[in-house]
Amino acid sequence: MTPTLQLFLTISAALFSIGLVAALSRRHAIFILIGIEMMLAAANLNFIAFWRFGPNPQQPTGVMVAIFSIAIAAAEAAVGLALVIAIYRHFRTTNVDQLNQLKG
């Protein structure tokens, strides 16, 4: 079993799908955040895979983008968690079904 691009992409797609399902199905805001993180991770994996199997693997471009993306994801998670805490404090719940204030 040699590591091929297909393999990585398949894993990444599965990871993305799991993340998406988690983000869509869970009601707890933290879980939705975790789902989103998983989808980000799938994207990072794609970056790495395309870099590694790309035409020019000597330059560390893929790693750079992945690291950049992870940094952004960290910041985003921080903001997201802070929002969740703020929402919880305000609404006394983290159930997104009840958080429908954006309704038009």
Partner 1 sequence: MIQLIVANLWLIPAAPLAVSLLILALSSSRRGSAAALAIAGQVIALVFATAAFLPTLQTPGYRALQNFVWFTFGDQPLRIGWVLDPLAAAMLMMITLVGLCIFVFSVGYMADDRNFTRFFSYLSFFSAAMLGLVIANSLLLLFVCWELVGLASYLLIGFWIERPSAAAAAKKAFITTRIGDIGFFLGILWLFGRTGTLVFYDDGRGCLENASLVALGATATFIALLIFCGAAGKSGQFPLHVWLPDAMEGPTPVSALIHAATMVAAGVFLVARVYPLFTLGGINGVTPSLTVVVWIGVITALMASLIALAQFDIKRILAYSTISQLGLMMVSLGVGGVAAGIMHLIAHGFFKALLFLGAGSVIHGCHHEQDIRKMGGLRWLMPITFLTYVVGMTNLTGFPFFFSGAWTKEEILHATGHWPVSHLPHYLMLAGVVLTALYMSRQIIYVFFGNGRGASEHAHESPSMMTMPLIVLAACSILFSIVATPAWSWLHAYLNGEPARFDLSLLVQPMLFVSAALVFGGIGFGIFIYRNVAETDPLAQKQPALFEFLQKKMWLDEFYRWTVVALGQLAAHISDLLDRYFWDGLVRAFAGLGQLFGIFTANFDERGINAGVDQTTAGARGLGRVMSAWHSGQVQTYLGVIAVGMLALLILYAWLT
Q: How many CB atoms lie within 10 A of CB 6?
A: 10
Q: Residue 24 CB, nearest distance to partner 1 (Å)?
A: 5
The residue ranges that bind partner 1 (CB under 8 A) are 20, 23-24, 32, 96-97, 99-104
**Smaller CB separation from partner 1, 4 or 98:** 98
Contact (CB, 8 A) for 16 and 47: no
CB of 54 to partner 1, least distance (A): 20
Minimum distance, C-beta of residue 99 to partner 1, in the bound complex (Å) = 7
32, 26 in Cβ contact below 8 A? yes
Query: What's the CA gap between 52 and 8, in Å, rounded?
Result: 10
